[in-house]
Each structure stands twice: as structure tokens, then as C-alpha cells.
């Protein structure tokens, strides 16, 4: 089967499996989603969702995070790992948004990735989920692994995986395909023990059973 054809089958079957995908990260506004996504690096969303309520109770708005003591932020986000980088980046991002973007989370890829700790993956999540803007496909560990196993890419660098995926899907599906692959990756095709025996993509998967 051709790659483009396989890509469409993957989308159709996962759309049937996930009729209305709920975002895994608990967010209500762009800034909260930005912080939650920044905290999600190399950390389960379950853990992120335990930290964010504490964070936003202590620092409800962007200006609060901008003025916060970094060591206090570190203490709150500690359990998500990489806590020094994350705390510093969040505070710096808050200040830049206040100083450069009039206190509003910017709505473009080019502007978002000027914030420290924000690259294409985090920017794509914020753009598609908070603003409904599809400028990129968020390639996280799940998307990367599934795209490779399903034969949609041979690359390992996330930015190159994204370049392989983008022509395979219309823009209005870019947010969904990320959600589909993340949830399906967690439930059926995790890094360690993929459940190929119950996988509804088994018949079109070039790497069934392969690490």
C-alpha cells in the first residue's frame, strides 16, 4: 500500500476509535496550555495534571508567573523533571509575553518559538488546541514512534518526521492526527510492549511486532 493511502486508512480508523478526542492536558486558556505543555517534556501527562492546579492557584495569570520567585516555581514543578530549565523558561516566557506581546500569548509559530523552552512541538499544541490554528503537526514521543512503526517516516529527528507527515494530511486534520497517535500510542502501541494482537492497524502496519 502506498504511504499516502496508508496514512488515510490510519486517520479513518483512529477517527472511528476516537470520535471526539479529549485533550489529555487539562487546560482552559492559551497560557495554561502553554505552561502545561512546557511541563510535559519527558514526563507523563498524569503527573503534569497534578502539578498545574497547584501552579495556577499560586500564579493565576501571566503577570503572576512573570513576577514569581524562580526557586518557588522550581519547587512546584519539581516532580515533572528538568525542573530548573522548566521554571526558568516559564518565568522568562511570561515576561517576554508581557514585554513584547502585550500580555497575550502570540498566535503564530514564528512568534511562539521565540519563547525560551518553546519549540515546534509545544507551539503546535498551543496553536491547534487553544487557537484552532494549524501551522504544524506536534511531533512528540508518541507521534514519532507511531509514525515510524506505521511506515509514515524513516526519520528519527522530530522536525524531519513532521516534514514527512505534513504532506500526508490536510491541514484541518493536523491537530487530530496528533491526538489520535498520542492516545493510540498510549493504549495500543506503547514503546515497550506493543499490543499487536489486538491492534486494528495490524493489517497495514509494516512493523508489526518489531521494536
Partner DNA sequence: CTCCCGATAT
Partner DNA sequence: ATATCAGGAG
Q: Which of 18, 82, 101, 131 binds DNA (CB under 7 A)?
A: 82
Min. distance of Cβ 118 from DNA in angstroms?
6
Pair 151, 207: CB distance under 8 Å = yes
What number of H helices and E strands is found in the chain? 11, 0
Which of 145, 155 has the CB closer to DNA?
145
Is 43 labelled as part of a ligand binding site? no
Min. distance of Cβ 67 from DNA in angstroms?
21
Asked if 109 touches DNA (CB under 7 A), the answer is no
Is 196 labelled as part of a ligand binding site? yes
Residues 6+ positions from 46 with CB-CB distance below 8 Å: none
Asked if 100 touches DNA (CB under 7 A), the answer is no
In which residue are the cell numbers 512528540 written? 140
In whole angstroms, give the CA distance from residue 86 to residue 74: 8
Name the active-site residue from 45, 86, 91, 140: 140
**Which three cell numbers, joined as nine digits, stand for 177?**
492526527
Q: Which of 58, 171, 186, 207 binds DNA (CB under 7 A)?
A: 186
In whole angstroms, give the CA distance from residue 81 to residue 200: 34
Asked if 197 touches DNA (CB under 7 A), the answer is no
Size of site (CB under 7 A) for DNA: 46
Q: Which of 24, 109, 166, 204 binds DNA (CB under 7 A)?
A: 24
Asked if 6 touches DNA (CB under 7 A), the answer is no
User: Could you confirm whether 69 is annotated as catalytic?
Assistant: no
Asked if 42 touches DNA (CB under 7 A), the answer is yes
User: Could you confirm whether 63 is annotated as catalytic?
Assistant: no
Q: Contact positions toward DNA, by CB under 7 A?
A: 23-25, 37-38, 40-47, 78-85, 113, 116-123, 125, 138, 140-142, 145, 158, 178-179, 182, 185-186, 190-193
Going by the annotation, the residues of the binding site for [4Fe-4S] cluster are 189, 196, 199, 205
List residues with catalytic annotation.
Answer: 121, 140
Amino acid at each position: 500500500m502506498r504511504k499516502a493511502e496508508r496514512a488515510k486508512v490510519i486517520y479513518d480508523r483512529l477517527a472511528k476509535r476516537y470520535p471526539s478526542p479529549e485533550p489529555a492536558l487539562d487546560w482552559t486558556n492559551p497560557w495554561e496550555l502553554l505552561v502545561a505543555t512546557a511541563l510535559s517534556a519527558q514526563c507523563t501527562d498524569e503527573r503534569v495534571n497534578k502539578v498545574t492546579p497547584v501552579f495556577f492557584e499560586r500564579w493565576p495569570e501571566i503577570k503572576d508567573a512573570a513576577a514569581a520567585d524562580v526557586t518557588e516555581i522550581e519547587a512546584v514543578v519539581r516532580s515533572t523533571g528538568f525542573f530548573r530549565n522548566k521554571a526558568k523558561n516559564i518565568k522568562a516566557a511570561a515576561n517576554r509575553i508581557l514585554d513584547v506581546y502585550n500580555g497575550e500569548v502570540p498566535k503564530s509559530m514564528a512568534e511562539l518559538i521565540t519563547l525560551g523552552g518553546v519549540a515546534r512541538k509545544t507551539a503546535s499544541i498551543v496553536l491547534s488546541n487553544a487557537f484552532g490554528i494549524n501551522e504544524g503537526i506536534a511531533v512528540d514521543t508518541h507521534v514519532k514512534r507511531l509514525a515510524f512503526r506505521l511506515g509514515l517516516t524513516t526519520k528519527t529527528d522530530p522536525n524531519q518526521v513532521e516534514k514527512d507527515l505534513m504532506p500526508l494530511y490536510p491541514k484541518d486534520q493536523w491537530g487530530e492526527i496528533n491526538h489520535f497517535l498520542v492516545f493510540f500510542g498510549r493504549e495500543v502501541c506503547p514503546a515497550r510492549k506493543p499490543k499487536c494482537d489486538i491492534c486494528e492497524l495490524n493489517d497495514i502496519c509494516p512493523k508489526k511486532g518489531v521494536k
